[in-house]
Structure 1
Amino acid sequence: MSEFKALSTETVSPQYQDLDTWDTPHLVQVLVEDQLGAVEAVRRAIGPIAQAADRASQRLRQGGRLIYAGAGTSGRLGFLDSAELPPTFSWPSERSLVCIAGGERAIRQAVEGAEDDLEAGRRDFLAHRPTAQDVVIALAASGTTPYPQGVLLAAGEVGALRIGIANNPDTPVLRLSEVAIALETGPEVISGSTRLKAGTAQKIALNALSSAIMVRLGKVYGNLMVDLQATNTKLLARAVRLTIAATGASEEAAKATLEASGWQVKTAIVMLRKGLNPEAAREVLSRVDGDVRQALR
């Protein structure tokens, strides 16, 4: 128990000791305003987040996979980030994996005690048959959770890149990582409830990290999400707007070109800008690893 006494995320703040007596507007105001601490914590970690993005993109260009690891709230945040990459950036789902303590059941409900099983973390990670090209993103608010430590230990054995995100500095999850991202958010309004600003800070950091990785991998042209999967009415309309923004084409021309390209925005942009048919546009893109800016040069 002594290890938890030193964790700022577990500290009981006297500032909020009468929380349950406050009127609801004041209670909500405090809960909302305390979230600003999450933004500041991530701002202080911009350097290591950028380093993680650069190092991860290098591995992923060689065919590696992103493997998120965590327990409880941290594990679910990793799952969410992983799940959003395929539709947003056409990142292959088989290259976006998750190790969560307690397995998939833990995404919907707590699996008590699962986070304390270091060997389960090691076992779950090794089940993915990892290689040195893979990238592990391990998350733990406390930084002491055994499950992600097990994942990191196994990742080190195979030479995978280890990125650790925790809300307490100099903790095992960070020490086991090659790139340590400390998000020092301090005590929570509700003591120990790290689903509050600690979780918010992790979500912001994950948003920034995975988005930066995808930009570095050519999944974005300018600030346009050109590698999305247009799988519903909203996204079909977005694909048209993106194509128009990138080419200056009319709505009719953009729609027609997208239909001819199988609703692949990158292909449609190259077709319109270079006057190519779908096959030729895809060939140009394949030679530059799908980077639209390079394809247009």
Structure 2
Amino acid sequence: MLTSGLASIAAVAGLATALSPGANAAENPYERGPVPTTASIEAARGPYAVSQATVSSFSVTGFGGGTIYYPTSTADGTFGAIAISPGYTARQSSIAWLGPRLASQGFVVFTIDTLTTSDQPASRGRQLLAALDYLTERSSVRGRVDATRLGVMGHSMGGGGTLEAAKSRPSLQAAIPLTGWNMDKTWPEIQTPTLVVGADGDSIASVTSHSEPFYRSLPSSLDKAYLELNNATHFTPNRSNTTIAKYSIAWLKRFIDNDIRYEKFLCPLPQPSLAIEEYRGNCPHTS
């Protein structure tokens, strides 16, 4: 009876531990930051103070330098990281708003310049990977980065480059092409969880000829989603945008950090609204 009683007490204690607020954090060592809310992921800044470092093009090879944004404190250990490419004719300033916004949620973010402003998607994909390699191997913040938890993003041709990078490096944990452009419309080889973002008013990389075919061609078994912005253009990702930030943060947290606390923002699928023309995806996510 004593043995049985002790076993019961142990079982209750174990259940209490499993249900305690810190249980999931203990199970997932990559979880960073407080419990998310709609307000917290829509905010212009997250819970982490952010510092930044400039990387000169003369100090790197394979891409054009850029700016690293990272959580200032080291109290939470290492963070997942994302490299972001601008689009055709553009420089990193066109996507710079994403740097501090994502970093403040608990990521190291590298907004890059490309070798030339006319680089095509395949080249931009290689440059995104070169930037991640620099970030994890030689940068001044390499000690803050978990090299096993990396992702890529990009706008326009940088979005096409995002798909190229994910195809070339299946170990990437997340990819987000923003109003992406690429002559290649089919991506069945991609194994990286991918959020495709299109714009209903895009006259340069229309959703019917780019983002929608990209999404449809991704494997059905892949964790994937398609977000079409409402009342938006090809250049909407070049300005601070709450909808892009919200779903990018949720996607990056869910798949780079494996943080299931963010699943609620992705599943059930978001419904059409003033900001969302359409959202497709497979739920629940499995990774």
TM-score normalised by the shorter chain: which range applies?
A: 0.3 to 0.5
Task: Give 1 or 2: higher helix fraction.
Answer: 1
Work out which of the two has the higher radius of gyration on C-alpha atoms and give 1 or 2: 1
- TM-score normalised to the size of structure 2? 0.36
Q: Which has the higher contact order (CA 8 A, sep 6+)?
A: 1
